[in-house]
Amino acid sequence: MIIRRVKLHNFGIYADTVSFDLEPVNDSQYTRPIILFRGQNGVGKSTIVEAIRLCLHGKLALGPRVTQRDYETYLERRQHRYADGETAVRTSVEMEFDHVVLGRRHHYRIMRLWGKQSSRIVTELLIWVDDEPSIETEDEKEFLLRELIPPGVAELFFFDGEKIATLSETGNASNSLLADTVRNLLGLHLVEQLDRDLDIY
């Protein structure tokens, strides 16, 4: 998977529309397959990673057991607030990437939009595959994204420097974080959750 572009509109600290070109650039001597963001604390590095995960997985980006109400509260809090205290009417996160499926490369464009209407958050998910708009239902689109990039894989590949620092430290906390990441990647946390649910039932 090669991420080409991420565009944020009134998301978090980013007002209006901000676009990031993330396509790796190679020269005659080196291949550069990694994109790094560097900056002072509070300038929006983690917000970009958060936006990518949200764009790919929606509610699942917050965890497997998040309620719809909690998700809507989160979306409302991520809408940009201007200096005068006004909240943005519409917010969106968008990304473009190339992904190989069954040996064939496809170009995907994903956009999640939301805004407040009549005291509730209304969301929309749009997907284009090779510049053709998807006409599938919302649930089918969510399933497509989970199949393309499982949430466990996203946990392993999209994270900020603070998580890298934690993983590099010796001690129980870093070991636990690494173990949780691998467990989620392999889906083993589902077995543990099923075991807990069976105890309850």
How do residues 128-158 score in pLDDT, each as one tens digit? 999 999 888 989 999 989 888 877 666 666 6
Helix, strand or coil for residue 137?
Answer: coil
CA angle 182, 185, 189 (to 5 degrees): 80
Task: Look up tokens 């989620």; give the residue.
Answer: 184
pTM for the whole structure = 0.74
How do residues 111-126 score in pLDDT, each as one tens digit? 999 998 888 899 999 9
Q: Is the pLDDT of residue 166 over 80?
A: no
Percent of the chain past pLDDT 70, that is, above it, reads 80
In this structure, what are the phi and psi dihedrals at residue 26, rounded to the nearest 5 degrees?
-105, 150
Helix, strand or coil for residue 20?
Answer: strand
CA angle 135, 138, 143 (to 5 degrees): 100
Q: List Cβ neighbours of 27 (8 Å cut-off, separation of 6 or more).
A: none
| Residue 85 or residue 34, greater confidence | 85
How do residues 91-113 score in pLDDT, each as one tens digit? 999 999 998 888 899 999 999 99
| Average pLDDT rounded to a whole number, residues 19-27 | 82
CA distances to 61, 66, 70, 144 from 137, rounded to whole Å, are 20, 21, 23, 11
d(CA 8, CA 15): 8
Mean pLDDT taken over the chain:
82
d(CA 187, CA 148): 15
| Residue 160 or residue 150, greater confidence | 150
Q: Is the pLDDT of residue 174 over 50?
A: no
Task: Look up tokens 């946990």; give the residue.
Answer: 155
Local confidence band at 162 (pLDDT 50, 70, 90 cut-offs): low
pLDDT given for residue 194 in this prediction: 77
Local confidence band at 1 (pLDDT 50, 70, 90 cut-offs): confident
d(CA 48, CA 20): 9
Of the candidates 63, 65, 55, the one whose C-alpha atom is nearest the C-alpha of residue 94 is: 55
- Which residues in 67-79 are b (16+ Cβ under 10 Å) and which e? eeeebbeebeebb
Q: List Cβ neighbours of 115 (8 Å cut-off, separation of 6 or more).
A: 79, 89, 90, 91, 121, 122
pLDDT given for residue 76 in this prediction: 92
